[in-house]
Structure 1
Amino acid sequence: MFSHPAVIVHGIDHVRLALRPGRKVVLVSSHGAALYAGTGWWRALMAIGRAEFPATPMTDLLDCAGAPGRALEALRAGQAAIRLDASVPAWPAVAAIATALGARVFPHRPPAIDLGQGDAWRLDAWLTGDTDRNLR
């Protein structure tokens, strides 16, 4: 799925925290963020992160839950990676559109730590792959 550690972010403070170490990272929205926060919010958040940390390699994934309309909206806005529930009947059509646009649709979320759940203390260990420290 992704070759870098994934971090679930809920706002600009989380984005800054995840990008500050300068390690490759995948920023993931919370479940269904496309429905309640919107694609524009997510894209603006990612633009700020990229502008403030231009040397930090990052990818981002917007979670569209079970909403194919929101997934298409995200693709139209230029979102390169989205997550859409695999059980959605429109999944194959959305995936085909994404492919035509050079984007990707994922049926599952990557393993990630959630900065909104108090996992900030584990961030450094998570980003370096130190699984022993992740368990402490």
Structure 2
Amino acid sequence: MGLLEPHVGHGGRDRQARLSLAAKAIAVHSLRQAKAAAAAAAETGQPVLLLSAPAAAGTVGPAWFEAVVRMAASAFPGVTVEGALDCGDMPGHALAALRHGLKVIRYDGPAFDAVADIAGQCGATVMRVRPDALDLSSLPGSGDADDADDTTALAEACRRWLQGEA
């Protein structure tokens, strides 16, 4: 199995190939960061996987994360923007994310096989490990303040990451 280690069946292999071969991950913690990543994807023509913070399913929840990914993607139509919600090792959070309709989650708990089976039935993918990602929270200006210069700097860092320059 590759980096994403999806449940095999119900289209899992096709989804794995598309995500693992095409999209680089960027860890986002706000709508502003997600839009900066999507803007960079639009500029470079590269797909992007918006990755939540570790175990974010237990803090921000699937509804918030799905809305952030949806709003970032809708701001840049024609660009492949997907989200992966990190559910840590909590099977209840993983199942809640799947019930909410998320198509990519990260889960590494003891019930992995059962969660992966349910995900496969939903047409979703479960990653066992976090992919390498540019974490926007570690960059200067990554806070929630709506500063145009900071947003430009975030988008530039994302652009470099997506093009393999970072």
1:106 aligns with 2:127: yes
CA–CA separation in structure 2 for the residues paired with 1:100 and 1:10: 29
1:69-88, aligned counterparts within 5 Å?
A: 69-85=92-108, 88=109
| Superposed displacement of residue 122, structure 1 | 3.0
1:17 aligns with 2:40: no
CA–CA separation in structure 1 for the residues paired with 2:112 and 2:47: 29
CA–CA separation in structure 2 for the residues paired with 1:14 and 1:77: 23
Alpha-carbon contact 2:26-2:51 (below 8 Å) kept: yes
* Structure 2 residue identity aligned to 1:5: K
Moved more, 112-121 or 16-25: 112-121
1:49 aligns with 2:49: no
Query: Is there any run of 5+ residues in structure 1 with no aligned partner, and where?
Result: none
Percent identical pairs in the alignment equals 36
- In structure 2, the CA distance between the partners of 1:45 and 1:65, relative to structure 1 (3 Å rule), is same
CA–CA separation in structure 2 for the residues paired with 1:104 and 1:26: 13
CA–CA separation in structure 1 for the residues paired with 2:161 and 2:65: 23
Q: Which has the higher contact order (CA 8 A, sep 6+)?
A: 2
The RMSD of aligned alpha carbons is 1.3
Q: How many residues of Structure 1 are paired with residues of Structure 2 in the alignment?
A: 129
Give the TM-score normalised by structure 2: 0.74
Moved more, 26-35 or 49-58: 49-58
